[in-house]
Structure 1
Amino acid sequence: MRINTLAFPHRTISWVKNCCVVVALLFTTISIHAQNVTILPSGITPLPIGYYPRLTYDAILALPSPEIGDLAVDLTFRCLRFYTGNRWARLINDDDLNLPAITAWAEGGNEADYGHQIAVDPNGFIYVCGRFRGVAAFENTILTSSGGDDLFIAKYNRAGALQWAKRAGGTGDDRANGIAVDASGNPYITGSFFMAADFSDTDNVTSAGLYDIFLAKYTTHGALQWVRSAGGTGYDIGNSIGLDASGNAYLTGSVFYNATFGDTTITSAGNADIFLAKYNSIGEKQWVRQAGSTMDDVGNAIAVDGSGNVYATGYFQGTASFGGTFVSATGSDIFICKYTTDGIFDWVRKAGGSLTDNGNGITVSSGGEVYVTGDFSGTATIGTASLVSAGGFDIFVAKYNLNGDFSWAQRAGGSGGDGGMGIVRDLNGNVFVTGYFINTATFGDTKITSLGNIDVFVAKYNIDGVLEWVQKAGTSAAEMSTGMTIDTHNNIYITGYFSGTATFGNTTISSAGSLDAFIARIKE
């Protein structure tokens, strides 16, 4: 810590000694980097830490008319923040240099409950979807499944207080896999249901065979607006959803044999095939596209840019057709594809090696820069990069431009099984990735070790793909992070599931049953 300005006109020696005592006490209270201290007859600037307002993080964000240099104690993330002119930045202490702050909460019951995906609206409200079994408690809201797994959707404010929670489903296993929120705070979810599922007292869907795809839209207050189904006699599933500025919804997942979307039926080339579909804001199908080979092909994640162009990733086997363009896999390979807002095929890229590789998460900037994460085994070629796993599955992160040209790729992991599941980008081009790792994993020059079997990680890479930091969370049992989002204040939210007692930064949460859903907030 440096003292840059000392002004003592007409002081007495006693007064100087007292000031030195105060400064010494301040130094022992907190170690702050790049902080100026000025001592004048009127007092010390900045004030000792005990004089700053002590508020929750959300209360700090709500402070009226802050000025550059204002300081506040953040009770949520247990740190000191200063106002830079456009955001409340976190002062870094010696104990946690270069690491973000994390807080978390859990929801669930005495059986197995999973958070699958997460989204945030323009006002900072958080929406989570997943599945639960039996009876699950969302604060004071109790949800009961109709049999097997039912799906849930829940809304929270930034402080983690529940606003509402809803369930849907039937006597079979039903799950919500993807969620997105429009500019008015209306959430859309997609997933799969078995045979029949009720979404309200008057709205239900029936499958054409076994598992079918659903798309549902709710109001910001949790009332169902509409629900649509699609599929055929096989196993059809919606895995991911993205929205454009007009509230059009774009889905990806997989279909088996024949699947009907509105008045359009598509037929898989063999087993499971990839689908992409567009619906407008009132649930009318606009178009549907199919891609794949005679083997198994699945769309895992989708994203939409500022012009409504659609990007998807997943995996394919054999020789697969994307809009008449053929790509061949040497094992199970990753695909990244782009379609226009009208469903016209633009390009497809493949990545991977001779073993099993998966694209699990995708995000895109408003201008069309594409970022992908997932897992690979053995040696994988991604663009011009050759990545080699340390053993089992490793994590990859890759960037492409809007034309599909390769920019960079990075790997992370260890000798166990590791995977990237979710990815987001901030306005400065920094990339945040979440997923899971086993035992010890290396990210750049940083090694992290799990508390037990499988733990959660969150990592930050800069615009050039250089690791900035990595943080872990977990228990001595197993946990998984499956979804990720970011808000306009650079709060990063993740969801997934955990067992036992888990540590997320300074927060400890405990599951009520074998597995519970968690939501965690990460703030730099």
Structure 2
Amino acid sequence: MRFTVSVKKSGTTQQINIDLADMGATVRNLDNISAHINTQLEAAGVLTRFERVKIGEKDDSGVIPGNDFGLHVQGVLTEQVSFSAATSAPAIYIAGVSGIGDGSAGQLVRLTDLASGTPVTEFTRRIEAAPDVTETENDKGETKSTTETNPLTIKATAASSDGGVYVVGQTSSEIDGRIVKGETDLVLQKRDSTGKVIWTRTLGAAGDASGASIAVDASGNVVVSGSVTGTLGTTTNVGGSDSVVAKFNAAGVEQWLQRFGGTGDDRTTSVTLGSDGTVYVAGEAKSGFGNAAHAGGEWDGYVRAISDDGTALWTRRVGDTGDERAKAIAVADDGGLLVASEEDGRAVLRKYDSADGAGAAVWELDLGDLDGGRIGGLTVDGNDIYLAGAAGGAFAPTAPLSANAGGRDAMVVKIADGASASVGWTTFLGSDADDSAASVQVTGGKLYVAGKTTGSLPGSTLNGTRNGFVAELDGGTGALAWTTQISGRGGISEATGIAVDPTGDSILSKLGLPQGSLTYADTRVVTDRTSVRDGDFFYLSVDGGRRKKITIGASDSIRSLTFKINAALVLDGTADVRRSAEGDRLRITPKEGVTIELFSGTEGRDALVGLGIQPGAVFKKPSLLNETTTADAPKLFALELPSVMSLGTRDKAAAAVKALESAMSVIQRAYRDLVTPQSVKDLLTGSQKGKDGGTVPAYMQAQYANYAAGLARLSGGG
């Protein structure tokens, strides 16, 4: 029960070893464990501290329901804290979808204690898009809110060496403050080993974008691939749906983005990384592009190589004149490139020289008719290659170790790599219903397969209508060790990706502490924190004057954006930053009597939509009070009602009546004050003078003369 807290400050890293055995006979509860850890940290001169806290989301009353508690790390910005365990075992993450239709969302499940044969679900996280909330008012003035959910789909996952886990997919609505500019957008999210969100990113597509695959290098850089339509920053819309590949560093900062394809539809299906950082993308296209001409059929498979800095190296076509789709790609143990494709319903595996985009395949292996199935995933362990997917009973590269159970079953094929390829074994994993594998990973000689089933797999039971599943097989023999089925919202789920963390199961996970470094805050750069892209813009105008263009730069924060806005406003208003738990917020305040209008940028490059700001006018009304008044605060009227009133006796009742009459009088004065125009108030109080000076009209002079003559006669008569 030992782990290490590493604290880096002033360029020096301290390793503070924590051993719970040193607690002796002290009860191992969270309070005592926190105290033990804090004693070690204090002795090392570290300011970071641990404490027990209640875990969960606050309800409407601000209270966290339930009785779940965990450890909370109180860090300081001058200390970078990370955790590592002395001993560990593998943990796996299963990503996929929970629910169906507009109510569907992403799902991430973490399993530990794999060696026991009955894995433990450490957590399940639902990854949701923001709902649409509509307020309507009836004829009585009553307001009603209607909430409509929006779908979000997770397609793939990958673990990183820093203890984090990535998921990629697509969202139809805002997620974690990232506004969707078009219909859908690719979403990439990083979480720590406890399931907590570290950061979320979207591409900022103005049309549709979706994520299909993901790969992570040893430094935590992550590459995602998918497809896109419509405007995306400064990229060129080639035609139809285009393939898209983007690289982010471990902090979520985009390093580069490539969009490519032909005049027809094309999309990526899988991505992998070479040891030198080269990105290899597999996909399918309806037209030729690069140096790969369209050979015929509806689809051609393709492979594209991109350098570590985002430069396109080569593109090759996969397959022949039929209908071919490259579905999975992996780097072989010797650096060669393995590509699995579906070709006229057959599964074909090829190996290429990764440095050459034109030469013939090193070897080609036709695995046979998939019998209505498909290819799901591809992984490598030394010279062993594992291909997973789904197939009918006619699929038989070898006599299966476990026979097809009926219909379409999940399948795994082991292939030996060499001068040529040979099939080691084939096995099916299925029920009497429909089953398929979507992803496969290997570690320590153990093979982990994830997918979906509408039945009960061996050793498991269907919970609902459709379940995601994960299974462990022996990588050498293909023998099934265990299966686990995972349900979802409404009894519907599926697993689309699996990731293995070789050291993920340790005392850290038992204590609810993350592996690797703690992240205290996300970046403040606008293009990282929102769906705004470098070069997006909007306009502002003061009192109907000339529109001034405000352009968002690659390194702009909300603070630097206020400088640009203030330069355009000059003395007509101010823009400033408001800090909040959700991040920095932009506030624009006009000068009194000034109207500031905000206008959208051109379609696809509008910054307002990415910032979550509606175009329109901002206006500050001038004060109705005179210039000597120091504030525009409304006049206060105190009712002065006693805190307790009683009708128990005649005297108390009389006192209550008097208090209520006094309060009614105050309410009447308040009403008169509210409905009386300010100009009338000024005349009544004498604070506004009448007109003086000028010429008296002739009729008034005549009236005055008559009045004067009459008074004279009356005086004379007296």
Give the TM-score of the pair, scaled to structure 2. 0.51
Partner SS for 2:264: coil
Q: Please point out which of 441, 450, 475 is paired with 2:462.
A: 450
Match of 1:128 in 2: 167
Change beyond 3 A, Cα 1:169–1:491: farther
Q: Please point out which of 160, 183, 193 is paired with 1:158.
A: 193
Match of 1:361 in 2: 377
Match of 2:474 in 1: 462
Alpha-carbon distance in structure 2 between the residues aligned to 1:48 and 1:413: 50
Change beyond 3 A, Cα 1:421–1:207: same
Change beyond 3 A, Cα 1:402–1:45: same
Change beyond 3 A, Cα 1:113–1:227: same
CA contact (8 A) 1:384 1:406 kept: no
- 1:56-67 to 2 correspondences below 5 Å: none
- 1:10-159 to 2 correspondences below 5 Å: 51=28, 86-87=87-88, 98-102=117-121, 103-109=123-129, 110-136=149-175, 141-159=176-194
Alpha-carbon distance in structure 2 between the residues aligned to 1:472 and 1:458: 7
CA contact (8 A) 1:422 1:484 kept: yes
CA contact (8 A) 1:334 1:357 kept: no
Deviation at 1:51, TM superposition (A): 4.1
Change beyond 3 A, Cα 1:383–1:111: same
Alpha-carbon distance in structure 2 between the residues aligned to 1:351 and 1:423: 18
* 1:62-90 superposed Cα distances (whole Å, 9 cap, x missing partner): x99xxxxxxxxxx9999xxxx99743699
Q: Please point out which of 371, 383, 405 is paired with 2:386.
A: 371
Match of 1:495 in 2: none
| Structure 2 residue identity aligned to 1:471 | T
Alpha-carbon distance in structure 2 between the residues aligned to 1:48 and 1:193: 60
| Structure 2 residue identity aligned to 1:336 | L
CA contact (8 A) 2:90 2:500 kept: no
* 1:234-289 superposed Cα distances (whole Å, 9 cap, x missing partner): 110011110122111111010112223xxx34323322011112111011122222
CA contact (8 A) 1:157 1:163 kept: yes
More displaced stretch, 343-352 vs 276-285 = 343-352
More displaced stretch, 106-115 vs 378-387 = 378-387
Change beyond 3 A, Cα 1:189–1:440: same
Match of 2:594 in 1: none
Structure with more contact order per residue of length (Cα contacts < 8 Å, sep ≥ 6): 1
Match of 2:363 in 1: 347
Deviation at 1:461, TM superposition (A): 0.6
1:253 aligned onto 2:283 = yes
Q: Please point out which of 230, 245, 250 is paired with 1:215.
A: 245
- 1:401-480 to 2 correspondences below 5 Å: 401-403=416-418, 404-426=421-443, 428-442=444-458, 446=459, 448-463=460-475, 464-475=477-488, 476-480=490-494
CA contact (8 A) 1:256 1:268 kept: no
Work out the number of aligned pairs and report it.
396
CA contact (8 A) 1:183 1:245 kept: no
Alpha-carbon distance in structure 1 between the residues aligned to 2:429 and 2:23: 42
Match of 2:348 in 1: 335
Alpha-carbon distance in structure 1 between the residues aligned to 2:253 and 2:116: 44
Alpha-carbon distance in structure 2 between the residues aligned to 1:217 and 1:254: 21
Alpha-carbon distance in structure 2 between the residues aligned to 1:188 and 1:354: 30
Deviation at 1:228, TM superposition (A): 1.0
Partner SS for 2:334: coil
Deviation at 1:157, TM superposition (A): 1.4
Deviation at 1:118, TM superposition (A): 1.0
Change beyond 3 A, Cα 1:55–1:450: farther
More displaced stretch, 377-386 vs 290-299 = 377-386
Match of 2:232 in 1: 197
Alpha-carbon distance in structure 2 between the residues aligned to 1:272 and 1:159: 41
| Structure 2 residue identity aligned to 1:235 | D
* 1:305-330 superposed Cα distances (whole Å, 9 cap, x missing partner): 3432221223111xxxxxxxxxxxxx
Deviation at 1:172, TM superposition (A): 2.7
Deviation at 1:388, TM superposition (A): 4.9
Match of 2:306 in 1: 279
Identity %: 23
Q: Please point out which of 337, 347, 352 is paired with 1:310.
A: 337
Alignment gaps of 5+ in structure 2:
1-20, 42-53, 56-67, 70-83, 92-111, 130-148, 507-718
1:241 aligned onto 2:260 = no
Change beyond 3 A, Cα 1:52–1:271: same
| Structure 2 residue identity aligned to 1:245 | S
Alpha-carbon distance in structure 1 between the residues aligned to 2:469 and 2:25: 35
CA contact (8 A) 1:333 1:356 kept: no
* 1:10-65 superposed Cα distances (whole Å, 9 cap, x missing partner): xxxxxxxxxxxxxxxxxxxxxxxxxxxxxxxxxx9998995488999xx99xx99x
Match of 2:495 in 1: 481
| Structure 2 residue identity aligned to 1:422 | S
Alpha-carbon distance in structure 2 between the residues aligned to 1:308 and 1:97: 35
CA contact (8 A) 1:156 1:163 kept: yes
| Structure 1 residue identity aligned to 2:379 | T
Deviation at 1:385, TM superposition (A): 3.9
Alpha-carbon distance in structure 2 between the residues aligned to 1:473 and 1:232: 40
CA contact (8 A) 1:244 1:305 kept: no
Match of 2:139 in 1: none
* 1:318-368 superposed Cα distances (whole Å, 9 cap, x missing partner): xxxxxxxxxxxxxx1112221122235212222243732321101012x23
Alpha-carbon distance in structure 1 between the residues aligned to 2:479 and 2:26: 35
| Structure 1 residue identity aligned to 2:461 | T
More displaced stretch, 481-490 vs 230-239 = 481-490
| Structure 1 residue identity aligned to 2:407 | G
| Structure 2 residue identity aligned to 1:217 | K
Deviation at 1:407, TM superposition (A): 1.2
Change beyond 3 A, Cα 1:452–1:46: same
| Structure 2 residue identity aligned to 1:466 | A
| Structure 2 residue identity aligned to 1:472 | Q
| Structure 2 residue identity aligned to 1:347 | W
As a proportion of its length, which structure holds more helix?
A: 2
CA contact (8 A) 2:401 2:428 kept: no
* 1:62-121 superposed Cα distances (whole Å, 9 cap, x missing partner): x99xxxxxxxxxx9999xxxx99743699xx99x95211222212112211011111122
Change beyond 3 A, Cα 1:408–1:195: same
